[in-house]
Amino acid sequence: MKRSVLFAVLCALCGLAFCVANLFGANLLCVTEGCTIYHGYRVFGLNLYALGAVGFLAMLVLVPLCALLEEAGFDRSPREGWWSYRRMLALLAVTIVCGLLIEMALLAYQWLFWACSSCLVAALLFGLTVLLAMFSFRELRRAPLWCLGGLWLILAAYVTLVVAREALLHPWSLTGTSGTAQVYFSPTCPSCREVVLELLDKVPEPEKRIAFIPISKNAEDDRRLAAVLPLLRQGGEAATVLRGLFEAPASGDVKLALSDRLRLWINKSTLASRGFTKVPQILSSAPILVTAPSEVAGSPSFPPVPSGNTCLPVEDGDCEDRSGGAFPAEGVER
């Protein structure tokens, strides 16, 4: 049996095991938000992992069967039957076309909405199985299949980049915590100063509850961050360091390390991927718990921030504070 056939069978077997495991809740390689979202999706009444398992099972049966019929000489035999080489090969071609079309539809959906790392792994395994099958049987090396495979490859490459960015490029927080809320801010932005200082004053243990994520939009931002980062790394109190960012411009010729510049670039990339061009931005999965100055410590109140992934400033470009005022947001373009 051809080596390409053996590799195709191995890929189909791995894909089948991967889909079955995830179908029963293993959550293998689920590192993006889309994995949870798509787990309940159905196509033709089947869970996506169940549909993938059916596709891999069909490839697992048809590829070695066609190879065995070819080795037995049935590709040159005039005899016809359900087991004939040409009919099995035609069934394999239909399976490949249907599988690629479904995968392309799912990849396009991820392109438009949320990327799913485990769905991508299943798609890549199926694509590799198809490629090995095409190399195994010369009858499958037709222009329409190559064109379909090329379109699939373009979609898969884009979704791969999206998954890589989401899985590897996490925003860098000065407080070192992910928190239930994220605040994107610039040290030279007056609106950011009011928002950050208000959160530091009113939120209990803000360093543990909120991720303060810096965005550098000019050289002065770089200088201020370069001046305070050594204090933070030497064990300085995070709240004090954050307040110091908004003080008088940094003096001296201090420069950011290359690693810090890379982290700031990742922060800006993350902000851009969410569709924002201005700061400050507050992203919260739940209402932010605050304690008003006049209240007894430990007596919480909830500001009127709606639940879900919310952001301030609002869409029209003005940043609303919780007391009803408004600050103009500043762009992050350099």
Give 50-113 as a DSSP string.
HHHHHHHHHHHHHHHHHHHHHHTTTTS----STT-HHHHHHHHHHHHHHHHHHHHHHHHHHHHS
Q: Do 266 and 239 have their domain in common?
A: yes
Q: Do 191 and 113 have their domain in common?
A: no
Q: Do 42 and 123 have their domain in common?
A: yes
Question: pLDDT tens across 195-208, in order?
Answer: 999 998 888 888 88
What is the pLDDT at residue 303? 42
Is residue 176 in some structural domain? Answer: no
Q: Do 163 and 186 have their domain in common?
A: no
Q: Do 188 and 152 have their domain in common?
A: no
Q: Do 133 and 228 have their domain in common?
A: no
Instruction: Determine the average pLDDT of the residues in 45-55.
Output: 92
Q: Do 78 and 103 have their domain in common?
A: yes
33 has pLDDT over 90: no
Number of H helices and E strands in the chain, helices first, is 11, 10
User: Does the pTM exceed 0.75?
Assistant: no
Q: Give the closest residue to 115 by CA, choosing from 35, 26, 15.
A: 35
| Domains held by the chain: number | 2
Q: Which domain holds residue 127?
A: 3-168
3-state secondary structure of 298: coil
Q: Do 319 and 268 have their domain in common?
A: yes
Give 314's pLDDT tier (boundaries 50, 70, 90): very low
CATH number at residue 17: 1.20.1440
Query: Which of the 8 DSSP states describes residue 234?
Result: T
Rounded to an integer, what distance in angstroms lies between the CA atom of residue 156 and that of residue 126?
Answer: 11
Asked if 224 and 249 touch (Cβ cutoff 8 Å), the reply is yes
Q: Give the closest residue to 299 by CA, choosing from 310, 311, 290, 286.
A: 290
Pick the last residue of a domain from 146, 168, 190.
Answer: 168
Instruction: Determine the average pLDDT of the residues in 63-69.
Output: 91
